[in-house]
Amino acid sequence: MSKRVVKKGTYGFVESQGENVLKVDTEKMRAVRLMFDLCLDGMSLGQIKDIIDVQGILYPAKYKKDTPTGWSLAEISKILSNPIYSDERYKIISTQEFKVAQRMLKLNTRVTGKKIEISALVGIAVCSECGSFLVEKSVSSRGRKYLYYICGKYKKNGGCSAHKIAVLELNRRVLEILQYQNMDMLSFKELTREMAIKYLERVCVNSAGDIESVERNT
């Protein structure tokens, strides 16, 4: 495997004096990790910007010039799209996390409310009919909120069909499959987002909510 070259000026790397190599800046890499975590939690670029601005994480140019500049969405997007952070030499995030992050960027999902939580299979479960990723939809009924996965294409423009299935139900079915294949997982009561990202590449779901195929991470 050919090694990726770190481009000069890549956020999270510093030039070490006298040597022609780039070293990891731990503090900035922590910020990179945070950006990826927020992205995987389903936050939009704007929401990620708000959080890192509040945390006082400085835009790279701040170190070069005296004028403070805030983060631009383009800069955040550039970081989240750069595979160097999943490179085996640095391992800021795993390859699978990077892949899901790329899907999350395309999905442009938004988390409403204060609590950052996104259903386990967003960016992983796909509609078997049109191939779009399933996205979340919450439905309120008699003061209670119910969460469903629905086809992303349907949510966007009414194309395809709803493919509606309760989040808890699909998560339960997927967990059962994982447990069937791996006894070590028997103690888990529910499918968490961390588990889904770690173990699953793709879960294909048909319009009846039945799982057609499960691709595991290798």
What does the binding site for Zn ion look like in residue numbers (CB under 5 A)? Answer: 127, 129-130, 132, 151, 153, 160
Site of tokens 């790329």: 102
Q: How far is the CB of 125 from Zn ion (least distance, A)?
A: 11
Largest CA distance in the chain: 67
Q: How far is the CB of 209 from Zn ion (least distance, A)?
A: 13
Q: How many whole angstroms separate alpha carbon 196 and alpha carbon 41? A: 12
- Identity of the residue, 35 or 135, whose beta carbon is nearer to Zn ion in the bound complex: 135
Q: How many whole angstroms separate alpha carbon 133 and alpha carbon 160? A: 12
- Identity of the residue, 98 or 133, whose beta carbon is nearer to Zn ion in the bound complex: 133
- Identity of the residue, 96 or 132, whose beta carbon is nearer to Zn ion in the bound complex: 132
Q: How far is the CB of 188 from Zn ion (least distance, A)?
A: 29
Q: How far is the CB of 153 from Zn ion (least distance, A)?
A: 5
Q: How far is the CB of 211 from Zn ion (least distance, A)?
A: 15
Q: How many whole angstroms separate alpha carbon 123 and alpha carbon 101? A: 8
Chain CA centroid to CA 28, Å:
19
Q: How many whole angstroms separate alpha carbon 125 and alpha carbon 176? A: 15
- Identity of the residue, 52 or 151, whose beta carbon is nearer to Zn ion in the bound complex: 151
Residue (of 81, 80, 85) closest to 95 by Cα position: 85
By the 8 A CB rule, do 71 and 52 touch?
yes
- Identity of the residue, 25 or 129, whose beta carbon is nearer to Zn ion in the bound complex: 129
